[in-house]
Structure 1
Amino acid sequence: MGLLLRWVFAFILLALTYNPTQWNYIRWTMENYLEETPLSVLLGLLLVIGYIIYLRATLRSIGGFGMLLVLSVVGAMVWVLYDWNMLSLDNPNMNTWIGIFALSAVLGIGLGWSIVRRMLSGQYDMDDVED
């Protein structure tokens, strides 16, 4: 459950930043920056904090190569679904959601990799051990 929750929060972070609907930070800020500058800055800083937490934990946990590997696996899954005609890539909005899903999978797995490692090996990371 912990890994799923970390992925959901990563998905929400990415979708709040940008998605193909009108409900995202980028579009809202472009339309309201002059009238709502302080709120735009505050929300932008909160999003940056979320990205720093996820990216720092992901880089420490699985590193750049691990991020590339997870993204490759997600890309290969999309390719298989496309090849089996279960997925169409003609819709740009759907492609954006697929990209958000792929990036959130990388961030969610990166943040929760210690949980996965502990489940598979039974070993704790040094950061997981309590005093």
Structure 2
Amino acid sequence: MGFVIRWVFAFVLLAATYNPTEWNFVRWSAANAETNLSMTVLFGLVLLVGYIIYLRATLRSIGIFGMVLILAVVGTVLWVLYDQGIVNLDDPTLNTWIALAALSVVLAIGLSWSIVRRKLTGQTDVDDIDE
């Protein structure tokens, strides 16, 4: 259940930033930056904090290579689904949602990897204390 919660939060973070609907930060800030600059900056900083948390944890646990590997696996699953006729990639809106789901899976795995590794191997990841 913990992984699902991390995935949902990653998906919400990405979808809140941009999605094909009109309900996202990019479109809202473009329309309201002049009249609500303080709110735009506040929401942008809140999103930035979320990205820093997810990206830092992901980079520390699986690194760039792990992120690319997970994206490759997700992309290959999509390729198989497309080849089997299960998914049609002609719709740009669907493609955007698929990209959001794929990126959120990468972030969720990155945030969860230390927990999975500890359960599988019994080894604990310890951060440097000098930071």
Whether the TM-score (by the shorter chain) exceeds 0.5 is: yes
Indicate the RMSD between aligned Cα atoms, in angstroms: 0.9
Output the CA distance in 2 between the equivalents of 1:2 and 1:13.
Answer: 17
Query: How far did 1:2 drift?
Result: 1.1
**Which consecutive residues of structure 1, in runs of 5 or more, have no partner in the other structure?**
none
Partner of 1:40, secondary structure, is helix
- Do the aligned partners of 1:3 and 1:115 also contact (CA within 8 Å) in 2? no
Could you give the per-residue CA deviations for residues 60-80 of structure 1, whole angstroms, max 9, x where no partner exists? 000000000000000001001
Identity of paired residues, percent? 62
Could you give the per-residue CA deviations for residues 95-119 of structure 1, whole angstroms, max 9, x where no partner exists? 0001001110111100110121123
Output the CA distance in 2 between the equivalents of 1:32 and 1:125.
Answer: 43
**Which consecutive residues of structure 2, in runs of 5 or more, have no partner in the other structure?**
none
TM-score by length of 1: 0.93
Residue 20 of structure 2 is matched in structure 1 by: 20
Output the CA distance in 1 between the equivalents of 2:104 and 2:116.
Answer: 16
Output the CA distance in 2 between the equivalents of 1:120 and 1:79.
Answer: 30
TM-score by length of 2: 0.93
